[in-house]
Amino acid sequence: MTTPITLSDEVADAVHSGRAIVALESTILSHGLPPGRNLAVANRLEETVRAAGAVPATIAVLDGVAHAGLSRAQLERVCAADAGLDKLSLRDLGPAIGLGRSGATTVASTSALAHAAGIGVFATGGLGGVHLGAGESWDVSADLGVLARVPVLVVCSGVKSVLDIAATLEVLETNSVPVLGYATGEFPAFYRRSSGFEVPWRVDDAASAAAVVAAHRRVASSGVLLANPIPATAEMSAELHDRLLAEGLALLDSRGVHGKEVTPVLLEHFHTASGGVSLDANEELVVSNARVAAEVAVELA
């Protein structure tokens, strides 16, 4: 990738000196959490990364410029209720930059921009995947294609249960993306600690995860997925989760929602219909992922 990306002074210094850095996406802030709470979570994520000894690099596109590491004013702008940011996957970066637009980056675009900036570790909430019925719709997240060719470690809590998890894992295997379970042998499903599917490999600490990532980078050019289950204390009950999921799927069907709009609509339903349980769960899992990512980044550095 040759697209210029502006690094904050702190991130630039960390890149040049080889210090540990963790990239953080901005879509969760602008599209995944309500105003007010999103800024609190943004601050907590950056503080969590710093506490573990790494430098946070929140990524976004502002007025046609890609940034890695946001100032206080820029972070507040991303989280503002009237920000009006576009949701930018990798395919959208060129148009947004070329037209001088502003947008929040997804897993795909954040991974690509992080790699362009020299950042090899990225923490997020959940990975995109193969949608149910993809055999007819061809609805497969760009996240998987980017992981296939960008050597970034993505730390997440698996994928949401609205996706075809078996097919998602199969696509990752086909594209030579190692899937590691962090202190678990089961692939997590975002709000739930287990999806019922096994992970091919398990690592139990940051040093082991870093060793795998370093070895993989010597033999392949694809990324690595580290699946870190939501903390047990924040896990959504199976009963509530299954009810919200059934309602959410029915809502998507009734509205004819597909593509990149699926996740925002589904998350909004979970947030409004769970009495705040899903918001708490979302915050705790992404903070946990940021901590694990920072610990692995420190080991890699």
Domain ranges of the chain: 5-300
pLDDT at 4 (0 to 100): 78
Catalytic choice (25, 46, 235, 299): 25
Catalytic-residue membership of 160:
yes
111 is in an annotated binding site: no
Residue 193 clears pLDDT 60, i.e. is over it: yes
Higher pLDDT, 288 or 162: 288
* CA gap 206, 294 in Å, rounded: 9
Within 10 angstroms of residue 259's Cβ, the number of other Cβ atoms is 11
CA–CA–CA angle 266, 249, 27 (5° rounding): 20
- Rounded average pLDDT over 72-91: 96
- Rounded average pLDDT over 8-21: 97
Residues contacting residue 19 through CB under 8 Å, at least 6 positions apart: 13, 54, 55, 301
- Rounded average pLDDT over 276-286: 94
Residue 301 clears pLDDT 60, i.e. is over it: yes
- Contact assessment for residue 237 and residue 266, using Cβ atoms and an 8 Å cutoff: no
- Of the listed ranges 78-82, 146-150, 151-155, 255-259, the least confidently predicted one is 255-259
199 is in an annotated binding site: no
- Contact assessment for residue 42 and residue 58, using Cβ atoms and an 8 Å cutoff: yes
143 is in an annotated binding site: yes
- Of the listed ranges 18-32, 135-149, 214-228, the least confidently predicted one is 135-149
Q: Quick: pLDDT tens for 93-125.
A: 999 999 999 999 999 999 999 999 999 999 999
* CA gap 106, 25 in Å, rounded: 6
Convert 44-75 to b/e letters by CB count within 10 Å (16 or more is b): ebbebbeebebbbbbbbbbeeebbbbbeeebb
87 is in an annotated binding site: yes
* CA gap 133, 164 in Å, rounded: 8
* CA gap 180, 160 in Å, rounded: 17
pLDDT at 266 (0 to 100): 81
155 is in an annotated binding site: no
215 is in an annotated binding site: no
pLDDT at 2 (0 to 100): 55
CATH class of 5-300: alpha beta
Catalytic-residue membership of 10:
no
Catalytic choice (160, 235, 283, 299): 160
